[in-house]
Structure 1
């Protein structure tokens, strides 16, 4: 499928509340602009850019207005970073960083990135392909013999590409965990135990038949990386991606690590009594290769830029990453899903590339344009933490308000 074909305009299917709650690590992800090719921006242009002092401009006002609007909708806080093509970034905050102490929102603070982790995992897999240790269209059973098997699940027919592109038919594991978050908030769950949860269910469809988001795909890819690289996943991602890019506020939490390391706003969810409570401290093991990474908005901008400018992958793998299929369950009409990367057409024309992520306490949406402009916005609760489940219109409008902030950052002056 070429890029022109991938820029379809598929209307998103309605996502039922139970479905939204079940797949917390964002299926409703997003985004970024233009036809990108490896090396198009020039890797040498991205050196140690420091934040710049904001001058009052129309663009600044647009971004701040959207962040203030998100707080008005009910999010405790919102923070964002806008990175210029030369790599300098401007940072924005709104709301309150901690509802108990009234502490301010830390500028460019660290947040849990949820499903943005999938892009990191995908890059690590594609690097192993470039190293000759994996093949995209080889069955997963070649590398993990006998591991991916179950009712309708056949690892000899599911390829690495199927997993990366969410086309394997593997059943979801995260729904059970998401529905009883208070119980699992401080519980460590191993990747193999998570896979057992998934494989206790039948396959959704035959591999390659269609697209359907499942965090289990990236759980298996994490196991694949560990088997082939012969190192733990956190180390592989740190040494292959985070350290080479100098991302000082990005990390893959180690086993048992529950608290956020750096300055961060508190993330909030609802308890069994229906009250807001601070969920900043949690064991993210259930997210693992699908949703465990912590980063600041500006770091996520820089990572996403690097995914597409040749710093992390060569031209062939970058091209493969951008071959998309319709992502019909997205909140953004016209979204396409590549290999751990999503495309989305902007209201003003062009396409942005990124992913987005939801995890208890935090939601992020992001994108990068063809000239290297990048934007990330984060809010410190999921909409269904403060909106009644039966209020479907308001729920969907609030989800869209976060994606609208991304579109506005690129399209409004």
Structure 2
């Protein structure tokens, strides 16, 4: 996720100097009264909800002992008021939870970070036996296995009742070309964490959902966490919202039953806050037991490095073991964080080490084309929490509106052109038409009809159209309609042109094209 946080330093020199002196004289935690800061976050979040038309949102400022400030607004997908007990899905915020579960196995000696994946999953053949044999558990956690981003669409987001288990999805990775040798390149993909899910199941001989609940969720106090369809029904998870032609609609109610390891994990605001508190306590539970050792906690928050070539200095990836590390502008330069989304839901978790505080936020709206505008609420709120300054860069969802309305307009145009072309094939032009005119119009409409087909090609490169339809329902629907109408237009126009070319020239045609009347209608 991209972040657009910029400083606003526009004060006159004397005022700026005075402000700097005041800041230098006061301890960092006293830069603003907590009540004022929380009020500022509340106001900012409400403004962003209105700007993005988010139906429901819940957030909390969290300390080591739990929430110190929390608010919930709006409605869920059933029209009920959102509270701290309303369940949401968290998307990729599941990844630090999965990484925590993996580290418990490492601490117990049942798994090693440098174990080759094939030692636990012999069927893992991504990139061929030579490449797969070099991929380690650490590579999966750090997103440096060589799997490209598009691998997500091959193994994730399966909603059918008979979806295969994680280990049974590995074969879909065999046909994917690696981005490079393991450890040589960073590429974020949920496929890495789907494979990790299979590794955990192979090591523990238990379903991942059972192990993560026993090893992480229950010790952290996350008793109402959602890990599969059964727990989603038990917690009455409402559908999430996606934009349909500019209006939020509660249409996203599907879940990958084996997806808790990479994205289909969820729960209440209290559950998410409990996980943040566990992390602020360095992996220690409220009872004094340890889920993570201090060494594991530090390691998870350390950026990975890529394999150096030719003696060059190693390149840092900005990703640790399940956490994004830094990569943001001040005052979040040292933040440890993650964002996540499923169709209809989004969530964010920021750990701010300087203040030993965290911010968790979840909302029931998400679509790929609204990513920047929807996710900005978390980045902006975290910045206010960190230094009290209001964000100055809040992106609008202009990309979404441009994409959905332009694709819809194209679909409408091509549907009309299809009707016109069908009439030409059936009845011919209203008036005699020149061959040059017919060819020119045929070429023009074929070019227009090819536009949606050409647009679908790069989209299909990232996954099947059905998968994209789940994430961008309105724009992809319009584009598919436009593609069908465009293809039909091309076929009908070519048929009309061929029939016209085969027709004998009449006396009017012999007199020259420039005196021919234009083809009737819109053409």
TM-score of the superposed pair, with normalisation by structure 1: 0.72
After TM superposition, give the deviation of residue 335 of structure 1 in Å.
8.4
Please say if 1:189 is aligned against 2:163: yes
Q: CA deviation at 1:258?
A: 7.9
- Number of aligned residues: 340
Give the match for residue 297 of structure 2: 318
1:244 positional shift: 1.4
Match of 1:336 among 318, 329, 337: 318
Q: For 2:121 and 2:360, how far apart are their aligned partners in 1? A: 35
1:113 is aligned to 2:90: yes
* Alpha-carbon spacing, 1:377–1:224, altered in 2? closer, same or farther (3 Å): same
Pairwise mapping of residues 49-198 of structure 1 onto structure 2 (< 5 A)? 57-73=35-51, 74-98=53-77, 101=79, 103-151=80-128, 154-171=131-148, 172-175=150-153, 185=159, 187-190=161-164, 191-198=166-173
Q: Measure the CA separation in 2 of the matches of 1:177 and 1:155.
A: 17
TM-superposed deviation, 1:379: 1.8
Partner of 2:365: 381
- Structure 1 residues 185 and 160, CA, compared in 2 at 3 Å: closer, same or farther? closer
Alignment-derived partner of residue 185 in structure 2: 210
Inter-CA distance 294–77: structure 2 relative to 1 (3 Å threshold): same
- Give the direction of change, closer, same or farther, for the CA distance of 1:177–1:149 in structure 2 (3 Å limit): closer
SS of equivalent to 2:82: coil
Name the CA shift for 1:346/1:262 in 2 (closer, same or farther; >3 Å). farther
How far 1:279 sits from its partner (Å)? 3.8
Greater shift, 298-307 or 135-144, is seen at 298-307
Q: Aligned in 2, Cα 1:93/1:229: closer, same or farther, shift over 3 Å?
A: same
* 1:80–1:375 contact (8 Å) kept in structure 2: yes
Relative to structure 1, the CA distance from residue 234 to residue 169 in structure 2 (aligned partners, 3 Å threshold; closer, same or farther) is same
Structure with greater contact order relative to length (CA < 8 Å, sep ≥ 6): 1
Match of 1:368, SS?
strand
Task: Tell me by how many angstroms 1:194 deviates.
Answer: 3.5
Partner of 1:363: 346
The equivalent of 2:207 in structure 1 is 232
Distance between the aligned counterparts of 2:82 and 2:259, measured in 1? 25
Mapping 1:221-260, distance limit 5 Å: 221-253=196-228, 256-257=229-230, 259-260=232-233
Aligned residue among 331, 339, 344 for 1:348 = 331
SS in structure 1 opposite 2:381? helix
On the 8 A contact 1:113/1:363 being kept in 2, the answer is yes
Report the CA distance between 1:193 and its aligned residue. Answer: 4.7
Cα separation, partners in 2 of 1:56 and 1:150, compared to 1, 3 Å: closer
Deviation by residue 1:30-57 (Cα, 9 ceiling, x = unmatched): xxxxxxxxxxxxxxxxxxxxxxxxx992
| Structure 1 counterpart of 2:235 | 262
Using the alignment, how far apart are the partners of 2:65 and 2:210 within structure 1?
A: 30
Matched, 1:199 2:174: yes
Query: Deviation string for 1:182-232 (max 9, x for gaps)?
Result: xx6555522245433333322222111111101111111111111111111
Where structure 2 has 5 or more consecutive residues not aligned to the other structure, the ranges are 5-32, 285-290, 307-315, 390-523
Q: 1:159 to 1:236 in 2, by over 3 A?
A: same
Alpha-carbon RMSD: 3.3
Deviation of 1:169 after TM superposition, in Å, equals 0.8
Gaps of 5+ in 1: 1-10, 15-54, 328-333, 388-394
Asked if the contact 1:321/1:339 (under 8 Å) is kept, the reply is yes
Secondary structure of the structure 2 residue equivalent to 1:290: coil
What is the deviation of 1:382?
1.3
The TM-score normalised by the length of structure 2 is: 0.58
Kindly indicate which of the two structures has a greater share of residues assigned to helix.
Answer: 2
Question: Which shows bigger deviation, 243-252 or 112-121?
Answer: 243-252
Aligned equivalents of 2:362, 2:349: Cα separation in 1: 9
- Secondary structure in structure 1 of the residue aligned to 2:341: strand
1:81–1:265 Cα change, 3 Å = farther
What's the secondary structure of 1:355's corresponding residue?
A: strand
1:23-38 aligned within 5 A: none
- TM-aligned CA distance change 1:306 to 1:292, over 3 Å: same
**8 Å contact 1:83–1:90 — kept in the other structure?**
yes
Q: Determine if contact 1:354/1:368 at 8 Å carries over to the other structure.
A: yes
